[in-house]
Amino acid sequence: MLRELALALVLLSQVPVPPALQQQAPKGSIEGVVRSITGEPLDRARVTLQRILPPPTGPTTGPVTPPPQIPPVQTEKDGEFSFKDLDPGQYRLRVQRNGYSAQEYGQRTPATPGTVINLTEGQQMKDTDFRLVAAAVVTGRVRDANGEPVPSFQVSLMRTTYNVTGQRSLTVVGNANTDDRGEYRIFWAPPG
């Protein structure tokens, strides 16, 4: 009888546990609020979260599978956003809204990337707030030497940037073509 009981226990220990009964690791979340620089909550801001997969550790034999897409969320009148049921890993969080400069979590200047979020198992990351700066608008008029409007002339808004060796260069941050009156309008220019 004991022998049969021991055999039954050995056989039961080899039966796989159904996935529904296995204990799953707790999921994480990222929550916050999108506001203007003056502190007002911003509605209709699009918040995107992108999972970053670590680079492969060894030779790869097939195509690399892209990380799963996380649907973006849009803020309501309270400016709040929330991503739930997140697996542990690295993420990038970005906010954009019409009339404001896009911003990444932890971004210090418009020309630099933001900070990677390292979400641990079950971590509830709250108060991930953004303060968006209104984008600039640059307008003007182009005329020739006789004072006549110049149509279809391309105007570029440029920013001075420096590479790692300190060498200065210009980077285009906005373009516009003049209309039939020689007028142009470059909108949503980042601050700087």
Give the mean pLDDT per block of 10 residues along the chain (192 residues).
Answer: 57 58 78 95 96 74 75 96 94 95 88 89 92 92 96 94 88 93 91 76
What pLDDT sits at residue 75? Answer: 96
What pLDDT sits at residue 30? Answer: 96
Gyration radius of the chain's alpha carbons: 27
Helix (H, G, I), strand (E, B) or coil at 167: coil
Angle at 187 between CA 143 and CA 148, to 5 degrees: 10
What pLDDT sits at residue 24? Answer: 73
> Which amino acid does the sequence have at 3?
R
What pLDDT sits at residue 109? Answer: 79
Beta-bridge partner residues of 89: 119
> What predicted TM-score, i.e. pTM, was given to this entire model?
0.69
Q: Is 134 exposed, middle or buried (0-12, 13-18, 19+ CB in 10 A)?
A: middle
What pLDDT sits at residue 16? Answer: 62
What pLDDT sits at residue 163? Answer: 83
What pLDDT sits at residue 190? Answer: 81
